[in-house]
Amino acid sequence: MLIKNFRNFLFSISLLLAFLTIAASCCFASPSADKLLKRKGFVWKSAATGHLRLHFEPGTLAENRIEELKRFQEIAYAKNLKLLKVSDYSFQTDIFIVASRERMKQLIGRETNGVAYPGTKVLCFIFSEKIDASGSHELMHVMAGNVWGLKFKRWINEGFATYADDIWYGCKLSDLNKYLLQEKRLIPLEKLIKDFSDHSDMISYPEAGRFVKYIYEQYGVEKVKELWKSGTIKDLKRVLGKDILTLEKDWHSKLLEADATKIKYDFSPKKK
């Protein structure tokens, strides 16, 4: 009887944990702008550009520099449109700007420097003296997802967003990837594509960004768009006409044209 009661207790605990997990997911997953505006513990001020709505907290650096942020995000918006090769983007997009990782966790349920929710056309990022996650990256996640579709492989989704900024922790993507190549730290393309999430962000993100840039510049936006819809190893060969090893060799040759002499890079994982 005692064993049976203990098993029932464990089963009840399991059900409770499952319920709490689901409840947390429902609370924070893909939130709408309206839900974030009403999030308990936050008071927002808002400002609009011609295409974006920015929401920020009073008394923060974002409030003090909101006009600069508006201009910068509009530049990022125009740059993303150009990369996507579309003349207009009709989806209302809301940007939520917080001052710390702690505030980000309170807003979305986890610590990160930036996050995008293409399905609800919302993005959030930190803007402070120590962390500046503004720019094209998160905005591109939202824009590309709504222009090209919400089903994609993670390597090309993160790669295209990283390419949109073309900078990773202050390093130009081309120069950084030459450095990674010289240091023998690049991930083999097959592993990058198949198991993107298994590798350090400090390598996988800039590598995917530079590889997507290579495809974009050598083969064109339509090929990138086609791979966005289905970006497996087989698709790469079908779309680009080369097997993965030949493609990797050609890409590495292109990387050697960059200048890595000034690169100083910390491989330790960064908090995202």
pLDDT digits (tens, 9 = 90+) for 109-160: 999 999 999 999 999 999 999 999 999 999 999 999 999 999 999 999 999 9
- Cβ atoms 236, 190 nearer than 8 A: no
Of 213, 131, 139, 136, the residue nearest 178 (C-alpha): 213
Alpha-carbon distance of 271 to 6, in angstroms, equals: 40
DSSP sequence for the chain? -HHHHHHHHHHHHHHHHHHHHHHHHHHHSS--HHHHHT-TT---EEEE-SSEEEEE-TTSHHHHTHHHHHHHHHHHHHHHHHHHT-S---S-EEEEEESSHHHHHHHHSS--SEEEETTTTEEEEEBSSS-B--SSHHHHHHHHHHHH-S---HHHHHHHHHHHHTEETTEEHHHHHHHHHHTT-PPPHHHHHH-GGGS-HHHHHHHHHHHHHHHHHHH-HHHHHHHHH--SHHHHHHHHSS-HHHHHHHHHHHHTTS--TT-----SPPP-
Cα dihedral 254/82/116/40 (nearest 10):
150
Residue-level pLDDT at 22: 39
**Directed axis angle between helix 154-165 and helix 66-84, to 10°?**
120
User: Model confidence at 26, in pLDDT bands (50, 70, 90)?
Assistant: very low
pTM confidence score: 0.87
Per-residue pLDDT, averaged over 44-50, amounts to 97
Could you give the CA distance from residue 73 to residue 268 in angstroms, rounded to a whole number? 29
CA distance 224 to 231: 9
Average pLDDT taken over every residue of the chain? 91
pLDDT band of 4, cuts 50, 70, 90 = low
Q: Which amino acid is at 45?
A: K
User: How many Cβ atoms are within 10 Å of 160's Cβ, its own excluded?
Assistant: 28
| Nearest alpha-carbon partner for 33 in 92, 82, 80 | 92
Please report where in the chains the tokens 């097959």 appear, as a residue: 190
23 pLDDT tier (thresholds 50, 70, 90): very low
pLDDT-wise least confident of 17-26, 170-179, 202-211: 17-26
CA distance 114 to 96: 10
pLDDT computed for residue 184 by the predictor: 96
* Confidence label for 30 from pLDDT (cuts 50, 70 and 90): confident
Confidence grade of residue 88 (pLDDT, cut at 50, 70, 90): confident
Beta bridge partners of 98: 126
